[in-house]
């Protein structure tokens, strides 16, 4: 029997293809390919971080690790930069989105849903060795922090003659921080209007350590960081105008007496990603549904029940934009904000 050797190359090619197909379709099964774990990426405010981190841990535990959530800390401004570039799906913010950030998101085609999640008491603290001050007025804080104070207000006695002539050393969040923006607006009268010769950090733990190690220090940050470090710091009561001095606490924030340094804090969710990714929508719904107990645990003040229901409705409708028109508002109530139409 004769064989046509001219057919051999064709047969070899067909054999190789058939063998390859059998390995893929009909051959012995190989190890299963791992399915990527859905990832929710969050960044932004160090003030909001303790809340979001607590929610993220609880969410991941309840989902058995089927969704991974990462939470970074680059400050409110730094978080919005990443968010508007599409690098994150949620941005933590301790103040509303500003006009330049609105424009950056619009230029990149990033639409967002603005969601208040808690109240914070912006807390002014000193070292426990400070024996000459228990309360401080908004006017005295303005004297310390206004731009004109640089080079002229360098001692405690420069602020109030009844205080000692010890050097005044100031600590505060950096320029990318929403806490810095809100504090300067509430005290000096204009966001970001501040002296520059203070120790700044986007990491509130750095500020805690600096104040705890300096008897002449004064600084400010969110209530949760003070609550965690009560043994190392002392909070000052705030005097606003002719009213009594009011200490920061869950109660004084809830009843509205801690003013003007109480404020809402937010998350911003990428609206298109929420519609496209079920796990992201599920996380945001979980946040708004379960936040109250977790917020109390980390030392902030939950919103009223009605506010969370209004926020869930805003998420369900997909209402995009901000109700603040590109700037913060001192002393505003959350229920009022959630009744406004975002723009």
Q: pLDDT confidence of 24, banded at 50, 70, 90?
A: very low
Beta strands in the chain (DSSP E): 39-44, 68-71, 90-93, 112-121, 123-126, 135-137, 169-172, 199-200, 217-221, 234-235, 237-239, 262-270, 301-302
pLDDT at 299: 80
Per the CB < 8 A criterion, the answer to whether 220 and 126 are in contact is: no
DSSP, collapsed to helix, strand or coil, labels residue 325 as: coil
pLDDT at 173: 93
Q: How many residues are recorded in the chain?
A: 343
Per the CB < 8 A criterion, the answer to whether 152 and 288 are in contact is: no
Say what the pTM is.
0.79
pLDDT at 5: 42
Mean pLDDT throughout 38-65? 94
Q: Which of 337, 333, 335, 331 is nearest to 306 (CA)?
A: 335
pLDDT at 10: 42
Has residue 297 got a pLDDT over 80? Answer: yes
What integer best gives the mean pLDDT of the chain?
Answer: 88
Q: Angle at which helices 138-145 and 178-187 pack, to 10 degrees?
A: 120
Range with lowest mean pLDDT among 17-26, 86-95, 123-132, 204-213 = 17-26
Range with lowest mean pLDDT among 68-82, 90-104, 146-160, 323-337 = 323-337
Alpha-carbon distance of 316 to 145, in angstroms, equals 42
pLDDT at 3: 45
Has residue 21 got a pLDDT over 80? Answer: no
- The residue among 47 and 163 whose pLDDT is bigger is 163
Alpha-carbon distance of 54 to 59, in angstroms, equals 9
Has residue 137 got a pLDDT over 90? Answer: yes
pLDDT at 245: 97
pLDDT at 250: 85
Q: Angle at which helices 278-298 and 305-317 pack, to 10 degrees?
A: 160
Alpha-carbon distance of 286 to 54, in angstroms, equals 12
pLDDT at 22: 42
In the chain, % of residues over pLDDT 90: 66
In the chain, % of residues over pLDDT 70: 87
Has residue 31 got a pLDDT over 80? Answer: no
Q: pLDDT confidence of 15, banded at 50, 70, 90?
A: very low
**Residue for token digits 């401004």?**
77
Q: pLDDT confidence of 335, banded at 50, 70, 90?
A: low
Residue 226 half-sphere exposure, CB side, CA atoms within 13 Å?
Answer: 24
**pLDDT tens digits for 56-105?**
999 999 999 899 999 999 999 999 999 999 999 999 999 999 999 999 99
């Amino acid at each position: 029997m004769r064989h046509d050797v001219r057919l051999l190359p064709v047969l070899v090619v067909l054999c190789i293809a058939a063998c390859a197909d059998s390995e893929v379709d009909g051959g012995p099964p190989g190890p299963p390919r791992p399915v990527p774990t859905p990832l929710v990426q969050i960044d932004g405010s160090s003030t909001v971080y303790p809340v979001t981190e607590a929610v993220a841990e609880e969410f991941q535990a309840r989902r058995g690790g089927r969704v991974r959530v990462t939470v970074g800390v680059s400050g409110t401004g730094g978080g919005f930069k990443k968010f508007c570039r599409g690098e994150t799906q949620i941005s933590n913010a301790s103040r509303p989105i500003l006009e330049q950030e609105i424009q950056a998101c619009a230029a990149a085609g990033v639409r967002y849903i603005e969601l208040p999640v808690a109240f914070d008491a912006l807390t002014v603290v000193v070292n426990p060795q400070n024996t000459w001050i228990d309360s401080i007025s908004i006017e005295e804080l303005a004297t310390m922090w206004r731009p004109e104070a640089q080079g002229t207000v360098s001692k405690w006695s420069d602020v109030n003659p009844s205080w000692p002539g010890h050097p005044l050393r100031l600590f505060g969040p950096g320029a990318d921080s929403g806490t810095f923006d809100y504090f300067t607006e509430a005290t000096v009268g204009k966001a970001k209007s501040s002296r520059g010769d203070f120790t700044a950090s986007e990491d509130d733990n750095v500020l805690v350590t600096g104040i705890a190690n300096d008897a002449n220090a004064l600084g400010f940050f969110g209530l949760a960081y003070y609550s965690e470090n009560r043994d190392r710091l002392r909070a000052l009561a705030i005097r606003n105008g002719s009213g009594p001095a009011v200490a920061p606490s869950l109660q004084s924030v809830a009843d509205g007496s801690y003013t003007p340094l109480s404020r809402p804090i937010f998350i911003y969710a990428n609206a298109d990603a929420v519609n496209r990714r079920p796990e992201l929508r599920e996380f945001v719904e979980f946040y708004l549904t379960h936040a109250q107990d977790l917020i109390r645990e980390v030392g902030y003040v939950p919103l009223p029940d009605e506010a969370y229901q209004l926020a869930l409705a805003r998420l369900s409708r997909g209402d995009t934009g901000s109700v603040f028109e590109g700037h913060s508002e001192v002393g505003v109530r959350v229920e009022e904000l959630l009744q406004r139409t975002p723009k």
